[in-house]
Structure 1
């Protein structure tokens, strides 16, 4: 067996006396060959029947969204190009910055909900759920506004409570030392 003898046959040719199934393991036909050459008589695994109808063939009329298994529309993709192929081109504002700020400075539980909703916007846009991305953006906006309102009310009530506490403390201190 000679590994260095490549000859006409391509990659890995065996000597002509190598018996077994068809003249040797990996032997190529004497016409030149190479990887994947089909025998000239037809009937190889990768050949398409001459009548058409193979899985990989595309119909000649093509065009549009129903013309074949893997065909793309002539525009090059989806619903109008742009970022992610969405109808408007760009995803809606995910409201992440106001969601983070209201979480830090106003109301933590509602702000966390706003952050979760805002993180869903880009994910839904990338998978093609444009209506879901728009809805998640609106919900994020709603939740950070709720967080802002509840936080403002809470801070206002806290300020009022401190003022009342100091007024009552000052009144009690002044009446105690008036003797």
Structure 2
């Protein structure tokens, strides 16, 4: 019997990517960090309701948005340093 609020799988919960999302938010590009934090929060919520595929997709989306945020943020900081502004 499936109890609401509990995942009924033997798989490990996908990583939430919270630490990386917070770092991206604070150090690189806040918009991408905020979007990644949203996806990070969805991992636990979806996992709790038994949506394993949704939790995996939210984890993957958080990682992708974080990596894009890091890339854009690094380019921004490189340009700022290079132009001396």
* Structure-2-length-normalised TM-score: 0.89
For residue 58 of structure 2, what is the aligned residue in structure 1? 136
Contact 2:7–2:51 (8 Å) recurs in 1: no
The structure 1 segments of at least 4 consecutive aligned residues displaced by more than 4 Å after TM superposition are: none
Distance in 2 separating the partners of 1:146 and 1:99:
11
Distance 1:120 1:97 in 2: 15
Query: Residues 63-108 of structure 1, C-alpha deviation per residue, up to 9 Å, x if partnerless?
Result: xxxxxxxxx4xxxx68xxxx732241x2100101000001100001
Identify the residue that residue 7 of structure 2 maps to in structure 1: 84
Q: Pick the structure with greater CA Rg.
A: 1
Tell me how far 1:142 sits from its aligned partner.
Answer: 0.3
* Structure having the larger proportion of residues in helix: 2
Relative contact order, higher structure (CA 8 A, sep 6+): 2
Rounded to whole Å, the distance in 1 between the matches of 2:17 and 2:75 is 22
Partner Cα distance (2:49, 2:61) in 1: 19
Structure 1 runs not aligned, ≥5 long:
1-71, 166-179
Aligned equivalents of 1:147 and 1:160: distance in 2?
Answer: 20
Q: Is the 8 A contact 2:39 2:62 kept in 1?
A: yes
Which residue does 1:157 correspond to in 2? 79
Question: In structure 2, what is the Cα distance between the partners aligned to 1:86 and 1:161?
Answer: 53
Give the TM-score normalised by structure 1. Answer: 0.44
Cα deviation, 1:81-140, whole Å, max 9, x if unaligned, reads xx732241x210010100000110000111110000000000000001000000000000
